[in-house]
Amino acid sequence: MIASPLGDRLYSVMYAMIRRGGAMAEVDTTTENEPMLGKRETVRLLVRLLKPYRWQAVATLLLLMSDVIGMLYIPTELSAMVNAAISRQGADLGVHGARMLVAAIAGSGGCIASYYMASRLAANVGRDLRMAVYKKSLGLSVADFSRIGTGSMITRTMGDANVVQQTLMMSFVMLAPAPVACVVAIALSFATDWQMGVVLLFVTVMMLVVTALAIMRATPIFMRMQELVDAMNTRLRESITGVRVIRAFGRQRMDRERLDTTFEGYARSAIRVNYVFTLADSLTFFLMNGVEVLITWVGANRVGALAMQIGSISALVNYAMIVMFMMMMAQFALLQIPRARACLARAVEVLDLEPRVKDAPDAEKHHRKLTARTDETREVVRLDHVSFRFDDADEDTLCDLTFALRRGETTAVIGNTGSGKSTIAKLLLRLFDVTDGAILVDGYDLRSLPQREARAHVAYVPQQAWLFSGTIADNLRHGAPDATDEELWHALDVAQATFVRELPDGLASRVSQGGKNFSGGQRQRLAIARALVRKADLYVFDDSFSALDFKTDAALRHALKGELTDAATLLIAQRVSTIRDASQIVVLEEGRVVGIGTHDELMETCDAYREIEESQTRGGGVDE
Ligand SMILES: Nc1ncnc2c1ncn2[C@@H]1O[C@H](COP(=O)(O)OP(=O)(O)O)[C@@H](O)[C@H]1O
Ligand SMILES: [Mg+2]
């Protein structure tokens, strides 16, 4: 008949193609499979995320309604026009035409506006979720982080939020209009003729069945593909990072076979899921054609029986096509929902995590007292019978440590690898809380101070020097944003980082992520300079000298001596030569203090220290 819905059908075909392509592209966001949390928390989070945008959401839905109703109203008016033309009521044609124009404008206007609003809304919610997880992660302690894993944390901030964002968008523009379209189309059909209403009801139910079957078959395959993507990611990361080891041990073939199985599994699942869709789509297209025949046939009889007019047949065919098209879209959105739920649940897991290290309620009060007192005492930090045990360890890493760090003095800690030296530094920064005893800052328990303030008094050079991507100047100003260029150059000189002067761009030289474009020793010295730029009461150098040659080590120590006269210094080292001049040396053995004193005193009294010293002078200074 007139106005065969060819356009719509072409649209659906195109859509189905996109969707089938999408079936594979959609899944490659990394999400690890973890136990799902309760439904209630997930819904609570979604409500919390949507709450600020509730009016926007309502407006979006209203605009979508306008789109759907406009879309359905056009064929209604068109058929009325045809009926009017056949019954030769020429004057009405213009009215119908005008109404169609209004419907078209309302429909496409609603469509454009609702897509725009839905994508804005989804993007805002995605940003809020990303921000919430990120902010939370900043407040988490090292222990919390290792509970979740850094990789998973990144996935949760980026990938998961993207899935939620995408699903929200799809739920709005693809899922929400479907039921409305079905109800309105059925109602319009019944209004035309009750038999045609039954036909449309039948079409809708058939499409519901096809949709339900497709979803039921495809969802588990999708979930399985998700697991396989995770497996591929893990395996690939392992093979790529470990490629030298794999080559060195001649394991290429095994590795390839291992990857092959995973790739194969993924390919098979992808084929199966596409098979399901192909079946669902061909069934839908078959239904479309069948329905057109059915409507024309039943319609012709009804027209013959004078129950309805001939022009209405094209409207009914159009209603049926719109219903089917909407249901196909809804199918796509429905498939996304289980994944989005899993992603939301993972976000909830992070957001509900109670940080291990947190500020005491009255922390700010202590801070004020602390700033009032800081300059009076010589003792900056005192460790008072400190013991510490990691969550997952069965014995104490540090046991009953007692010593003080004083202004203008260097305290050195020496001991074998694994004796707990770095752990002391981490406790001073309150990356972990002590298990027993207390760390006293100016007489106040570290745990009673605000974390930010407690750390502001410390300049720390970690054992693994980490630089941020940016310029050298950016990195040096990390702890002191207002430092002048002169101060930066001075710190670089003290840190023996003279190589910076030879770089063509000087302070503006580029640093790649992690500082990978510098050697280990250069990175170390930049990290030392970064700490020196910052004015602090306590400087902690965690094994910062081990990557330096003896001459640079000596020059650096010499330069430091004049530099840190107002502050306490904690120097963690493995070489006796590095710490020989320290005011106080703490000898650590398996987390216990086995000697405290100056070099000379320890040479007299401490067997462990003498052994270290002798092994190093004999071996010519063993180095890690
Ligand atoms: N995050 C952690 N979880 C559990 N154990 C840890 C952790 N970090 C370090 N350890 C353990 O604590 C001990 C001391 O580590 P560390 O302080 O780094 O030693 P050092 O710096 O003296 O080489 C080691 O035995 C190490 O295995
Ligand atoms: Mg260490």
93 shares its domain with 11? yes
Number of domains observed in the structure of the chain: 2
Asked if residue 375 is part of any domain, the answer here is yes
In whole angstroms, give the CA distance from residue 111 to residue 177: 11
Nearest ligand, CA 543: 2
| 81-101 per-position pLDDT tens digit | 888 888 876 667 888 889 999
| In the block, residue with structure tokens 């406790």 | 427
Residue 360 vs residue 410, higher pLDDT:
410
pLDDT exceeds cutoff 50 at 306: yes
Residue 439, domain extent:
366-457+569-617
| In the block, residue with structure tokens 């910076």 | 500
**Alpha-helix residue ranges (DSSP H) falling in 1-91:** 6-25, 39-50, 54-86
Structure confidence at residue 31 as a pLDDT band (50, 70, 90): very low
Residue among 390, 463, 589 whose CB has most ligand 1 atoms within 8 A, to mutate: 390
Token pair, residue 34, equals 């973890």
Burial bucket for residue 461 (CB in 10 Å: 0-12, 13-18, 19+): buried
What pLDDT, on the 0 to 100 scale, is given for residue 32?
42
Burial profile 415-429: b = 16 or more Cβ within 10 angstroms, e = fewer: beeebbbbbbbbbbb
Question: Taking residues 124-139, what's their average pLDDT?
Answer: 89
413 shares its domain with 332? no
Counting from 1 in the atom list of ligand 1, the atom nearest the Cα of 421 is 22
Question: Taking residues 590-608, what's their average pLDDT?
Answer: 90
Beta carbon of 397 within 6 Å of any ligand 1 atom: yes
305 shares its domain with 411? no
**Residue 146 CB contacts under 8 Å (≥ 6 apart), including other chains:** none
337 shares its domain with 378? no
pLDDT exceeds cutoff 50 at 595: yes
Residue nearest to atom 6 of ligand 1 (CA): 390
Q: How many whole angstroms from 573 Cα to the centroid of ligand 2?
A: 9
48 shares its domain with 120? yes
CB 216 within 8 A of CB 338: no
Residue nearest to atom 5 of ligand 1 (CA): 390
310 shares its domain with 438? no
Residue nearest to atom 18 of ligand 1 (CA): 422
Neighbours of 261 (CB within 10 A): 11
Asked if residue 507 is part of any domain, the answer here is no
198 shares its domain with 313? yes
Residue 26 vs residue 127, higher pLDDT:
127
Q: Tell me the whole-structure pTM to 2 decimals.
A: 0.66
What pLDDT, on the 0 to 100 scale, is given for residue 367?
60
206 shares its domain with 298? yes
Looking up residue 412, the CATH number of its domain turns out to be: 3.40.50.300
What pLDDT, on the 0 to 100 scale, is given for residue 30?
41
397 shares its domain with 298? no
| 419-445 per-position pLDDT tens digit | 999 999 999 988 888 999 999 888 888
124 shares its domain with 167? yes
For the chain, the helix, strand and coil percentages under 3-state DSSP, each to the nearest 5: 65, 10, 25
Nearest to 211 by CA among 329, 336, 317: 329
Counting from 1 in the atom list of ligand 1, the atom nearest the Cα of 543 is 21
Lowest-confidence segment of 246-255, 395-404, 425-434, 548-557 by average pLDDT: 246-255
What pLDDT, on the 0 to 100 scale, is given for residue 368?
55
| 151-166 per-position pLDDT tens digit | 667 767 777 888 899 9
196 shares its domain with 293? yes
Beta carbon of 52 within 6 Å of any ligand 1 atom: no
Beta carbon of 462 within 6 Å of any ligand 1 atom: no
Q: How many whole angstroms from 165 Cα to the centroid of ligand 2?
A: 42
Beta bridge partner(s), residue 376: none
